[in-house]
Each structure stands twice: as structure tokens, then as C-alpha cells.
Amino acid sequence: MRDFEANGLSGAEETKLQYEYIEKAKKYVSQKEKELGRKLTCYVKTFGCQMNARDSEKLLGILNEIGYVETEDEHADFVIYNTCTVRENANNKVYGRLGYLSNYKKKNPHMMIALCGCMMQEPEVVEKIRKSYRFVNLIFGTHNIYKFAELLCRSMESDSMIVDIWKDTDKIVEDLPVQRKYSFKSGVNIMFGCNNFCSYCIVPYVRGRERSREPKDIIREIESLVADGVCEVMLLGQNVNSYGKNLEHPVTFAELLREVNKIEGLKRIRFMTSHPKDLSDDLILAMKECDKVCKHMHLPLQSGSSRLLKIMNRHYDKEQYLALVKKLREAIPDIALTTDIIVGFPGETEEDFNETLDVVKQVQYDSAFTFIYSKRTGTPAAAMKNQVDPDEVKRHFDILLKEVQEISAKKAKELEGRVMEVLAEEQNIQDASLITGRLSNNSVVHFPGTPDMIGKFYMVRLTECRGFYYLGEIVEDA
Ligand code: SAH
Ligand code: SF4
Ligand code: F3S
């Protein structure tokens, strides 16, 4: 693993260099097309979070630019897995699918296979792939993803596996091609990496130190997205509340939000993720004042036990978290609150678990992601001796899940009968006569409609609540 590359280029020079590699790769692809007498196909599979999804749009942007045509599955000439390693099962999924890929490659000798993303930042993973999955052509990590075009060229010029992984980077490279999954909404990175080192979490090790993008670059990107038909953006970072602290001219997340809110033509602003320790009063005020900011806050709790929160290195306790929720609800009464909770952190007792349950009951989350603790190599929690008995964890997990689901259903029921603004997002997968859309609070609504409605807003009556989603009907155009 390299520390990181010292080619001395600025971000702008690097962008220029990568466009030269894109031109070179185009030639390789068109040569191959002539040989085969057909277009080359590609498939990008994303594991993990919104940040990875956004990275995949950048990979696809480059693949499109050089001439690949996207396909639906792994029967493609170029397959890339953008991996996640936040929990053990995320890793296992990748190994499982790699097994299939080797068979596909036997049938299509032109096939190229690449792996990138968080899992590749773990040296043991790369070792295992080198040894046991030798048919892989290219491996790179999270820090050098902007060099995809260059690495692709190297890989096309070589018969052996190319591996290029860096420990970290200080560079942010702007203006490379992107191919969005949705025409009307987009993720926008506002920062990369994480400095928090929650004791269970591998993200800071695989994503490197926190780096914020310049506000002007963010605004410029959103303006051009809006000009291209985007009406909703999701501002992305592992801890958006600490945005801008390390910029040459520091800017707060609340200030950024106010600037983004001014962008004409933009309708909805979401963001992810907020760390409770850095959630300022000014941010709450900004959310209240900015009409485009959605009425939704994802505020990971992780545990309700102050004792465990300390060992988790979260920098808040149960009381502070509850006080924050109270403040948010006072300022924005109809705000939806969602969260992440881990069950089975080392040393978790019945008492600790009951504290979590107590917070869940008090806060009444609109929805919650519940995770079983997964031991991640290299994190402080992995070395803790008091790992919890899996049966006990499962018992707690089931109790928590039941509670969370009952509360979600009850909360969702409160909006039944109301008329609310919905952004039409996609055709329903099971029933093509329905359109699936979202409320400002992030809840999903299915209502009769046609694909031409996608990307537009409608006033919809929530006629029936079905647990955590609604059936609705259009009342009038928004
Ligand atoms: N930066 C975000 C979270 C990113 S990871 C934040 O701080 O909120 C998403 C979620 O995965 C976390 O909120 C946590 O609940 C869960 N998670 C992270 N590491 C985990 C582990 N080792 N085992 C189980 N869940 C984990
Ligand atoms: Fe992981 Fe904590 Fe950083 Fe979130 S804030 S990515 S949970 S270390
Ligand atoms: Fe997974 Fe990496 Fe995101 S570990 S959750 S894809 S930052």
C-alpha cells in the first residue's frame, strides 16, 4: 500500500491529465469494438452507502465517456464492484458474487473485472483476492478513484492484475464525468473521510481523514445539476455537521445550507449524515429558515446507554441526545427523525440495552436502521475482550426491531388522510400502473400515474397507510 502519490499535480492539473487518459481509453475501446464487431458493455455494482453510490456514478460516467454501454447484470465486458466493509456481511456478499464472475469470465475471455471501494483499503482483503481470485484484472481503493481512467488504461495494457491502493490522500479532483442514476435527483459530496473514530467503526480507516470541498465548487456543481434537470440534492458526508472546519476560510454546514437554499430552480435539499455531537443551534435555525430543506433528520443514536456511548467514543450521552431531539422538535414540529442503532457492542448488558429501548420509546423515531454489531479488524472495539454472546444479541435485536417497527407504523398512521407534496421518483416495480414518490419527510407513497410524471411534484392524498409506506391519489398538480 502506498502512502499516497506525490505527482505534485494540483487538482485542476490532475483533471486535465485524467481527460487525456479518457481519450487514450476511448481508442482502446473503439479498437476492441472493431475486433468484436459490436459495442462493449459494462456493469457497475454498488455495495454500501450513498457515498459509494455517488462514486459509482463517477465510475459509470467515465465508462460511458470512453464508449462502454451499460447493461443490467454481470454478463458484461467490464464489471466493477464498488465495495463496502462497514459490516462483515457486506464483505461476504462480494466474495459470494466473485465466485459467479469467474464462470462468466471463462465464457467471455474479453471480460475485465475490477474491484474498488472501502473493502479494498484492507490489506488482508487484497491479499486474499491476489491469492484466491486471480482472474480479477484491477484493484484500486477509495483515495485514487479519480484515477479510474488512468488505471483502466494500465489494465488494458497489461495481462496481469493491477493493484493500486493508497493509505490516504489530500487531493480533491473536480469536474470528472458523472452518469447519474436519476435524472431529477443527485447526491453531492460536500466532504470526504471521517475523523471521529467511533470505536466500532472501520470507515475512518478506509476513507481517510476528513476533507471538505470548497463551497464555491459545491454551489457550482449544484447549479449545473439544476441546469441539467435536477430538483433535489442530497449533500453527502460521514459527518456533515463538521463540514468546512478545515477549509482555508472556514465555513459552517449551516452557512453552506443557507447558500444552497438560494439556488434558483432547486426544490429539495437533503443531507446525510448528522453526528449528534456537532449539531449546532445554528443548523437547527438554518433548517427551520430554509424552505427547500426537507423536514427530515437522520440522527444516529448507536446506543442509548451513556456508559456505552462513552466507550463507543461518540462524545454525547443519553441526556444530551434527548435534549437535542427536544430542541429539533420544538423548532420544527413536523420533522421526521430517523436513526441507526447497534445491538451487541462489546460489554452491552441488559441494562445498557434497556437504555437504548428507553430512548427509542421516548423519541418515537419515524424509522430506524438496526444493526447487529460486527467486529471490524483494526478498530478498538475488535480488541475488547467482552464480546457479547450471539444468542443474547439476537434476542435483544428482535425485541428492538419489534419496538422500532411498531412505533414507525404508529407514526406513519398519523399522516393518513392528509394531502402532501410528493416528488414522483420511479415506476413501481411490482405494479406498473403506480408511481412511487417521496414526501419531504422521506416517506414513500405509491399512487396511480405514468412514467412521464417522474421528476415532478404532485399534491397527493395519503389514502391508506400500509405500515411504513402509503397508498395515495393525486389531488392536483403541485
Ligand atoms: N457516519 C455515519 C455512519 C456511517 S456507517 C454516522 O456516524 O452516523 C452507518 C451505520 O453503520 C452507523 O451509523 C452504525 O450504526 C453502523 N455501523 C458502523 N460500524 C458498525 C459495526 N462495526 N457493526 C455494526 N454496525 C456498524
Ligand atoms: Fe463511523 Fe463514527 Fe465516522 Fe460515522 S462518525 S463514519 S460511525 S467513525
Ligand atoms: Fe460502507 Fe464505505 Fe460507505 S465502508 S458504509 S461504503 S463509507
* pLDDT above 70 for 478: no
Cα Rg of the chain, angstroms: 23
Distance CA 215, CA 247 (A): 9
Instruction: For residues 162 and 137, give the distance between their C-alpha atoms in angstroms, rounded to a whole number.
Output: 6
Ligand having the closest approach to the CA of 47: 3
- Quick one: average pLDDT of 238-262? 97
Residue owning the nearest CA to atom 5 of ligand 1: 86
| Cβ proximity of 232 and 268 under 8 Å | yes
7-36 burial, b at 16+ Cβ within 10 Å, e below that, comes to eeeeeeebeebbeebbebbeebbeebeeee
Residue 232: closest CA among 180, 286, 270: 270
Closest alpha carbon to 286 in 269, 309, 265, 306: 269
Mean pLDDT within 192-200: 97
pLDDT level of residue 8 (50, 70, 90 thresholds): confident
Which of 84, 196, 206, 377 best tests ligand 3's pocket when mutated (most atoms within 8 Å of CB)? 84
Q: Grade residue 171 by pLDDT with cuts at 50, 70 and 90.
A: confident
Greatest distance between any 2 Cα atoms in the chain: 68
Q: Is 374 near ligand 1, meaning CB less than 6 Å away?
A: yes
Q: What was the pLDDT predicted at 336? A: 97
Looking only at the bridges linking them, the beta strands covering 434-438 and 444-448 are: antiparallel
C-beta of 380 in contact with ligand 2 (< 6 A): no
Place 2 in a pLDDT band, splitting at 50, 70 and 90.
confident
Is residue 217 predicted with pLDDT exceeding 90? yes
Residue 304, ligand 1, Cβ within 6 A: no
Contact 204, 165 (CB under 8 A): no
| Ligand 3 centroid – CA 48 distance (Å) | 5
Q: Which atom of ligand 1 is nearest to the CA of 239?
A: 1
- Closest C-alpha to 47, from 11, 3, 95: 95
Query: Ligand 2 pocket test: which of 200, 202, 203 has the largest number of ligand atoms within 8 Å of its C-beta?
Result: 203
Report the nearest-CA residue for atom 1 of ligand 3.
Answer: 84
Query: From ligand 3's centre to the CA of 192, what distance in Å?
Result: 11
Q: Is pTM, for the whole model, over 0.85?
A: yes
Which of 198, 211, 274, 340 gets mutated to test ligand 2 (max ligand atoms within 8 A of its CB)? 198
Ligand 3 atom 3, closest CA: 49
Return the pLDDT at 6: 64
